[in-house]
Every structure is written in C-alpha cells, then in structure tokens.
Amino acid sequence: MHFTKLQGLGNDFVLVDARGKDCDWGQTARLMCRLHFGIGADGLLLLLPSEKADFRMRIFNPDGTEAEACGNGLRCFVRYLSDNMLTNGTTLHIETMSGVRQAKLITENNAALIQVCMGQPKFAPAAIPVNVAPEQGKMFDIMLGNYPLEIADIMMSLSFISMGNPHAIHFTTEPVSDFPLSTIGPLITKHALFPRGTNFEVARVIDCNTIEMRVWERGAGETLACGSGACASAIAAQLIGLSGDAADVLLPGGRARVQWNRGSDALLTGPAEPVFSGEWHT
C-alpha cells in the first residue's frame, strides 16, 4: 500500500489513496500511526471519490476512531491533490463527515499556503454535543467561557464549540506552556460531559490579534497543532470580547490564521508540506 506522509504546522498525517481499496481502516490507522513500530502520525487520511464534491476525505485517529473534521488534515489533503496533479484549479470542494468544505491554494508573502473553509461554528449543547442541565442549556449563549469545571484540583471556565467536531476551550492568563495539559487533557476528553468525547484547548490571548494555544486531541493526545481547535479558540476569544474577527493562533508547530465574521464560515489558513512517501506492507 503506497502512502505519503504530510504535515501542517507539525500536525502530521499518513495519506492513502483509498480509491478501489477496502480494509479495516481503523485497525490500519492504529498500526500505521504508531510511533517507533509504525510510520508515526497524528492520523490517517483516506482519499476517496465523491458524488457531491471533487473528492472525499476520511480521517482516522491513532486509536482507530474516525474523526468528523480536521483543519490541518484537510490542508494536507489538498496539498497532496495539488502535488499529484489531481486538480487543475486553485479552488476545490472536499466532502468530509462534517460536510463539504471549500479549499483554496493561495500565495501570501511569497509563501504557498492553503486556506480551508471550516464551516459555521455551533454552540447548541446537542450540536456539540455536551451534556448540560436544561436550565444551563437555556442560558448557553451567555455562558460562553463561563462553564465551571474542576479537575485534578484545577478550576477551569470552559467554552464549548463544535467545528464539526467537539471542542472545550479554557482561557488562561498564564503562558500555556505552564498548564499541566498531559494531566488535565485526557481527563477532559473522556469526561461524562461529552458523550462523544471532546478536543481540549488551553489558550491565552496575547493581544486582540494573537492567541497562543496547546491542544489535547480526542483519540490522539497532545499534538503540535489542531486546525479545528485553532478555529474554536479564536471564535471563543472573539465572542468573549478578547480578540477581533481575525487572529493568528500560535501553536507549538507554528502559526495559523483564523478569520470569522459572525454568521459566516470560519476560514483557516496555513502551510502544509509533504514529508516522505513509501510502501506499507500489509
């Protein structure tokens, strides 16, 4: 099985052209994504045909579960299509589990970047989903950033957002490098509040145009970047009144640009690059 490894801001993926192929992709993801014993990656991307878009993308986490959305994975997917001349244009439409997403190849400051449409954020508890009491659900739109949760003696105020996949964001005034993410992250992602689990971001607003963030991804653990998490954090910061409608999100793997005007789709811009290709012996 031929594969290509790509990375977007250090968020790395193994991509397989799965057209005409059939196997247990969850198990394949577990084997291929293993560090040291496999290729090593934050997820497995599958390139598939689509009846309603140019192509279809599926993504599997390292634990074999399938994810609904992935901004960095989508950018890597588009980079692969471009590098392998599977598209002649600069605009594509990709079918994902969370809907059809538009992607553009752009040049900015002499750098080749990919901008992907991440869809509209959702805030209703059932859409995220998050289990909150009925009276809390009625107040949910004014509770953004104020849901109290104490884990391991750390009190947090969470924002809940769906970017096609669930996110819980905690804003801190301290550098995110100081936050005990390896302790808190796995406890939040599997907390009873989240029936399908959640991605957890800890973020700090540096100024109205800049946010720093770390992430613990559901099914993957801490990664160097998360595109949907960057969008969720930037949108939450905007709604709370901490940032504007465009912000640079500083991740351990690099910088992503998020733009969102209320009522519209979120846009995520950043680099994506191939790392190497090879053959996986099944």
CB-based contacts of 131, cutoff 8 Å, min separation 6? 125, 192, 193, 194, 195
- Per-residue DSSP letter, 234: H
Q: Among 70, 76, 117, 231, which one carries the catalytic annotation? A: 70
CB 265 within 8 A of CB 117: yes
First vs last C-alpha separation in the chain? 7
Q: Give CA–CA dist 48/171, Å, rounded.
A: 38
CB 74 within 8 A of CB 57: yes
Q: CA-based Rg of the chain, rounded to a whole angstrom?
A: 18
Query: Which amino acid does the sequence have at 169?
Result: I
Q: Among 33, 76, 117, 226, which one carries the catalytic annotation? A: 226
Q: Give CA–CA dist 66/71, Å, rounded.
A: 15
- What tokens were used for 166? 């669930």
Query: Which amino acid does the sequence have at 130?
Result: V
CB 30 within 8 A of CB 62: yes
**231 annotated active-site:** no
SS3 state of residue 231: helix
CB 247 within 8 A of CB 210: yes
Residue ranges of alpha helices (H) inside 69-151 are: 71-83, 134-138
- What tokens were used for 87? 């598209």
**226 annotated active-site:** yes
Residues, the chain: 282
Active site residues: 70, 226
